[in-house]
Structures are given as C-alpha cells and as structure tokens.
C-alpha cells in the first residue's frame, strides 16, 4: 500500500476546517499504526479542555490526559483537536464528557488498551476527577503516571 493510498481517507489534515457544532458531528480520523507488533503508549494532554454545564450554561474547564496502546490504528491529532473543540459549546456533565471521549476513542481505534483522566477544575469549591479505562494494561508495557497534581490550582 502506498503512502498516498494510506492517507487518502483523511479529510481534515492539511486544510482549513470549521469547528464541529457538537461532539456527535465531529469526525475522528485514524491512520495506520507503523508498529502494530509493538506495545507502546501514545499520550495526548489537553490542559485547557472546556465544555458547558448543562444546567447553568457556564463554562467548565478540565485537564485531560489520554493514554492508549494502539493496535492497528492511531488517532489523527488534528481531528482529535477539532473533536475536543466541539465540546466548547456542548452542555454535559463532567462524567458524560470524560467517559464519552474515552468510549468514542475506543470505538474508533480499537486499541489494545486506553485510559482517560479528566481532572476538572472546582465547581462550588469541589474539583471533580473522572477516570475511565478499558481492560488491563498489556503485559510489559510501561504506563507513566498522568502527572496531574491533586488540586491546589492544578499547577
């Protein structure tokens, strides 16, 4: 398979795009894993993730950390950024956003393993942290700590 054929299905990379109106409308694109025979970790960190409270409409802020061990596919990073951005005008609770992102990535990529940590900034003085994981870590795979401090300004 030629490189040109491998990337023919990408619609977002290399051009101007508009932000999807909702996470449901967002397209998550994937590319072939160049090392499917090797267990390694891919990490995405989004320290400025935002969504809206479904009741008040006020913004909620989170530091997301996504780790996954790819099988056949990798998520294309521009599509992931646009997917994250689609939450800026989306009203949902912290749990729905965090777990929904994890499930959507799992559905798109079918990784060997995936986890997401959603470290949400305080609401009413209480930070809410949400964690989702698929199965056990593949044997022999090094998974670093997510490195997000317990709340004291998250910094």
Active site amino acids? 53, 60
First to last CA, the chain: 46
Adjacent-strand bridge partners of 30: 75
> What does the DSSP 8-state code read for residue 21?
S
**Strand pairing report for 73-75 and 30-32:** antiparallel
């Amino acid at each position: 398979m030629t490189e040109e054929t491998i990337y023919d299905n990408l619609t977002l990379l290399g051009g101007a795009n508009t932000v999807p109106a909702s996470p449901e409308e967002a397209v998550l694109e994937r590319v072939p894993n160049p090392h499917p025979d090797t267990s390694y970790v891919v990490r995405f960190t989004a320290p400025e993730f935002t969504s809206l409270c479904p009741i008040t409409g006020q913004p909620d802020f989170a530091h997301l950390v996504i780790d996954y061990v790819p099988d056949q596919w990798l998520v294309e990073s521009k599509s992931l950024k646009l997917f994250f951005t689609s939450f800026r005008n989306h009203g949902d609770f912290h749990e729905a956003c965090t777990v929904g992102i994890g499930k959507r990535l799992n559905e798109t990529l079918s990784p060997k393993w995936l986890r997401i940590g959603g470290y949400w900034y305080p609401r009413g003085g209480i930070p809410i942290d949400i964690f989702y994981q698929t199965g056990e870590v593949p044997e022999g795979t090094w998974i670093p700590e997510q490195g997000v401090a317990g709340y004291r300004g998250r910094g």
